[in-house]
């Protein structure tokens, strides 16, 4: 009885969500290692949407954050994304979890408690949709302070990067011709895969220069397009996409260090560096503008107020704001292009088809000996059809 009871309890599934721990203070490094079934253990105040979307895409089963995912400074978007995807988020468990939990440990999260086996290793707050909604309402009060800080940062950034923003000094030359062409910039934002698919007709008709930013390059390649230019850290981009790109532009820090450049060299792929403090999306837009693009269409590049203040997207970095001012009316969101664009069938193609039908009909009538009267009737009918088709296409 006792033995069977022990076996019954050992075989009984424990409540909560279980998975292998992936632990890292540096969120960027963590995102490169996580995969399906993992529990991400990180330390990020004000979890941003871009990070949350990457966690969802990696199919993690849980997230444990050592810091508050919503600090109240501004309404950041990451926690909302995770909870909406059904991923448990255990929040504000303390930094000790990063030392206690080892990489690859099997964890279980249940009602805000983190277990390794039967041992409790951390405790925090499991976020729910209701908690997040209440926290975001309170956080809106912090937006005024964020905007004030942003204004000061913008002035300082413009002092440092004014020659880049105003005159394009420092923008690298690229082999791909961009002048007087339209450019499509694909980044890894919300629904960027669907957004790219909706632009297939636009791409076929206008043949824009295709610029993939970070995982946007992988998306272009996966959808059957060859990136003309790739901008971003090569360590976060697939090998096949890198090899398919005509040219790779690697963002470099102000001291000249360019993360991922070693990988490019190991793959034998040519690349140029772009020294600037802006993020990869901003650099891609500046690249297109400096080289004379007539129109820049974006997919996965968000710039609403909430996204603008979201730390992971542009947060305290004013380069996004100034870059969009620089491009002005040339910058268009891909959603708008998809709605406005319609596939236009060439009238010339229709005219050729109608003409071919006329030739076949006339030949058949003539050979059959029906006579010229019926031939004239057929020709008049086809002319009327051509006039009608011309009316359809203006």
User: What is the percent of the chain with per-residue pLDDT over 90, rounded to a whole number?
Assistant: 41
Using the predicted structure, report yes or no on whether residue 203 has a pLDDT greater than 50.
yes
Q: Residue 259: which residues within 8 A CB-CB, separation 6 or more?
A: 233, 235, 250, 251, 253
Alpha-carbon torsion (134, 138, 143, 145), positive or negative: negative
**Complete DSSP assignment for 55-70:** HHHTT-SEEEESS-S-
Mean pLDDT of all residues in 74-96: 92
Let me know: does 104 contact 133? Beta carbons within 8 Å: no
What is the pLDDT at residue 246? 86
Mean pLDDT of all residues in 257-275: 82
What is the pLDDT at residue 266? 82
Q: Residue 32: which residues within 8 A CB-CB, separation 6 or more?
A: 235, 236
Mean pLDDT across the chain, nearest whole number? 81
**Complete DSSP assignment for 305-334:** HHHHH-TTTTTT-THHHHHHHHHGGGEEEH
* pTM for this prediction: 0.62
Confidence of residue 327 (pLDDT cuts 50, 70, 90): confident
Coil, strand or helix at 344: coil
Using the predicted structure, report yes or no on whether residue 356 has a pLDDT greater than 80.
no
Question: How distant, in Å, are the alpha carbons of 14, 17, 40, 96, 117 from that of 114?
Answer: 13, 10, 12, 12, 10
- The predicted-structure confidence for 5-57, as pLDDT tens digits, reads as follows 444 444 457 889 999 999 998 887 898 889 999 999 999 999 988 889 889 98
φ, ψ of residue 182 in degrees (nearest 5)? -85, 150
Let me know: does 216 contact 228? Beta carbons within 8 Å: no
Let me know: does 193 contact 223? Beta carbons within 8 Å: yes
Q: In this structure, what token pair is assigned to residue 174?
A: 């690229």
Let me know: does 216 contact 238? Beta carbons within 8 Å: no
> For the chain, what is the largest distance between any 2 Cα atoms, rounded to a whole number of angstroms?
105
């Amino acid at each position: 009885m006792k033995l069977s009871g022990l076996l019954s309890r050992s075989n009984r599934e424990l409540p909560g969500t279980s998975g292998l721990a992936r632990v890292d203070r540096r969120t960027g490094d963590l995102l490169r290692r996580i995969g399906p079934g993992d529990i991400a253990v990180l330390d990020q105040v004000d979890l941003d949407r871009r990070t949350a979307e990457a966690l969802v895409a990696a199919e993690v089963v849980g997230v444990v954050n050592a810091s508050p995912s919503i600090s109240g400074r501004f309404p950041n978007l990451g926690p909302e994304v995770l909870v909406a995807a059904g991923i448990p988020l255990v929040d504000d468990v303390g930094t000790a979890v990063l030392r206690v939990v080892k990489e690859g440990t099997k964890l279980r999260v249940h009602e805000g408690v983190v277990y390794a086996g039967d041992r409790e290793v951390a405790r925090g707050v499991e976020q729910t949709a209701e908690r997040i909604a209440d926290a975001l309402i309170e956080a809106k009060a912090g937006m005024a302070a964020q905007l004030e800080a942003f204004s000061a940062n913008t002035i300082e950034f413009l002092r440092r990067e004014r020659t880049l923003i105003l005159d394009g000094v420092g923008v690298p030359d690229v082999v791909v011709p961009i002048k007087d062409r339209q450019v499509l910039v694909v980044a890894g934002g919300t629904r960027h895969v669907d957004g790219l698919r909706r632009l297939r007709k636009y791409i076929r008709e206008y043949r824009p220069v295709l610029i993939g930013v970070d995982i946007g390059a992988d998306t272009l390649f996966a959808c059957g397009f060859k990136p003309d230019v790739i901008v971003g850290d090569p360590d976060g981009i697939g090998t096949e996409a890198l090899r398919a790109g005509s040219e790779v532009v690697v963002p470099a820090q102000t001291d000249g260090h360019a993360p991922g450049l070693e990988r490019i060299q190991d793959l034998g792929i040519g690349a140029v560096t772009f020294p600037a403090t802006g993020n990869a999306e901003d650099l891609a837009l500046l690249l297109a503008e400096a080289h004379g693009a007539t129109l820049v269409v974006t997919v996965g590049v968000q710039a609403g107020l909430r996204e603008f203040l979201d730390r992971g997207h542009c947060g305290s970095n004013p380069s996004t704001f100034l870059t969009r001012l620089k491009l002005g009316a040339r910058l268009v969101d891909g959603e708008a292009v998809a709605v406005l664009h319609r596939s236009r069938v060439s009238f010339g193609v229709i005219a050729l088809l109608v003409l071919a039908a006329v030739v076949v009909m006339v030949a058949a009538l003539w050979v059959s000996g029906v006579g010229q009267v019926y031939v004239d009737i057929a020709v008049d009918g086809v002319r009327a059809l051509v006039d009608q088709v011309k009316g359809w296409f203006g």
